[in-house]
Amino acid sequence: MAETPRFHLAFPVIDLEATRHFYTAVLGCRLGREDQRWIDFDFFGHQITAHLCERMPDVASNAVDGRQVPASHFGLVLEWEQWHALAERLAAREVEFLIQPHIRFAGQVGEQATLFLRDPSGNGLEFKAFRDAAALFAR
């Protein structure tokens, strides 16, 4: 079976040094190539590129489970244990969560752990895990 393709995502930031610190020291990403106005990161095997901008675009939000979720966000679906380890590590570092780690759809098809945070430029990130990984696209 062929390896799953890796995604590439480019996103705006307003402070490259704060971005470098957040993605390497807080999230544990490895540094890739960089220039004066951009940095590549190994985002759990995927390539993301932070591009320096003068200002951040406005981001709409959407109500989900009574919480305001940034309509534009990215992240990962982790293994259940990986997600819990990340949530504990972020909490220990006193990272400010946009939406606290919690379980959605408990006991139902699609039960998932999720958390939201923002990087130093305000980009929304979601990390989630499904109790049953096969339920990722279950309806």
Beta bridge partners of 36: none
Distance CA 76, CA 104 (A): 16
Q: C-alpha angle with apex 99: 122 to 85, nearest 5 degrees?
A: 100
Which pairs count as long-range contacts for 128-135, CB under 8 Å and 24+ apart, including other chains? Answer: 128/75, 128/76, 128/77, 128/78, 128/83, 129/77, 129/78, 129/79, 129/80, 129/82, 129/83, 129/84, 130/77, 130/80, 131/80, 133/79, 133/80, 135/109, 135/110, 135/111
pTM: 0.91
Closest CA to 126 of 93, 102, 107, 92: 102
Whole-number pLDDT of residue 4: 84
Q: Which domains does the chain have, with CATH numbers?
A: 1-54 (3.10.180.10), 63-139 (3.10.180.10)
Q: What is the pLDDT of residue 34?
A: 97
Per-residue pLDDT reduced to its tens digit, 77-88: 999 999 999 999
Nearest Cα to 29, choosing from 72, 76, 71? Answer: 76
Q: What is the per-residue pLDDT across 7-41, written as a single tens digit (0 to 9) for each?
A: 999 999 999 999 999 999 999 999 999 999 999 99
